[in-house]
Amino acid sequence: MIGKLKRIAKDALANPTIRKAYNGTNRAVLEVAGSSRIGATLYSIPGFFTHNREQYAVLSGRRAYYKNLGRHRANHVELRRNVHRLEKGILMQPRRDVFARDYIEETVEFYEAALARPAAFSNMDAGEMQWAHDVLAEYFSIVSDGDEGIERSRARFEALPPYGTPSDVHPYAQKSLKRTDITYDQMLALAQSRRSIRWFEDKPVPRELIDKALLVARQSPSACNRLPYDFEVFDNPEQVAEIASIPFGAAGYSHQVPTVIVVKGDLSNYFSPRDRHVPYIDASLATMGFIYALETLGLSSSVINWPDFEPLEAKMAKKLDLKPHQRVIMLLAVGYPDPEALVAYSQKKDIANLRTFHGLER
Q: What is the pLDDT of residue 121?
A: 67
How far apart are the C-alpha atoms of 106 and 112, rounded to whole Å?
10
Q: What is the pLDDT of residue 264?
A: 97
For 184-335, which CATH superfamily applies? NADH Oxidase (3.40.109.10)
Q: What is the pLDDT of residue 168?
A: 87
Q: How many Å is the Cα radius of gyration of the chain?
A: 25
How far apart are the C-alpha atoms of 46 and 58, rounded to whole Å?
21
List the chain pLDDT tens, one digit each, 362 residues: 666 766 776 666 678 888 888 888 888 888 888 999 998 888 888 878 778 889 999 999 999 999 999 988 989 999 999 999 999 999 999 999 999 999 999 999 999 999 988 766 667 788 999 999 999 999 999 999 889 999 999 999 999 988 888 788 999 899 888 889 999 999 999 999 999 999 999 999 999 999 999 999 999 999 999 999 999 999 999 999 999 999 988 889 999 999 999 999 999 999 999 999 999 999 999 999 999 999 999 999 999 989 888 889 999 999 999 999 999 999 999 999 999 999 999 999 999 999 999 988 77
Name the β-bridge partners of 260.
Answer: 234, 333
Q: What is the pLDDT of residue 284?
A: 97
Q: Is the whole-model pTM more than 0.85?
A: yes
Q: What is the pLDDT of residue 13?
A: 64
What is the 3-class SS of the chain, one letter each residue?
CHHHHHHHHHHHHCCHHHHHHHHHHHHHHHHHHCCCHHHHHHHHCCCHHHHHHHHHHHHHHHHHHHHHCCCCCCCCHHHHHHHHHHHHHHCCCCCCCCCCCCCHHHHHHHHHHHHCCCCCCCCCCHHHHHHHHHHHHHHHHHCCCCCHHHHHHHHHHHCCCCCCCCCCCCCCCHHHCCCCCCCHHHHHHHHHHCCECCCECCCCCCHHHHHHHHHHHCCCCCHHHCCCEEEEEECCHHHHHHHHCCCHHHCCCHHHCCEEEEEEEEHHHCCCHHHCCHHHHHHHHHHHHHHHHHHHCCCEEEEECCCCCHHHHHHHHHHHCCCCCEEEEEEEEEECECCCCCCCCCCCCCHHHCCCCCCCCC
Using CB atoms within 10 Å of the CB of residue 267, give its burial: 0 to 12 exposed, 13 to 18 middle, 19+ buried: buried
Q: Residue 89's closest CA among 25, 153, 147, 135?
A: 135
Question: How far is residue 176 from each of residues 6, 90, 172, 179, measured CA to CA in Å?
Answer: 56, 17, 7, 9
Q: At what angle are helices 126-142 and 148-158 packed, to 10 degrees? A: 130
CB neighbourhood size of 114 (10 A) = 20
How far apart are the C-alpha atoms of 153 and 157, rounded to whole Å?
6
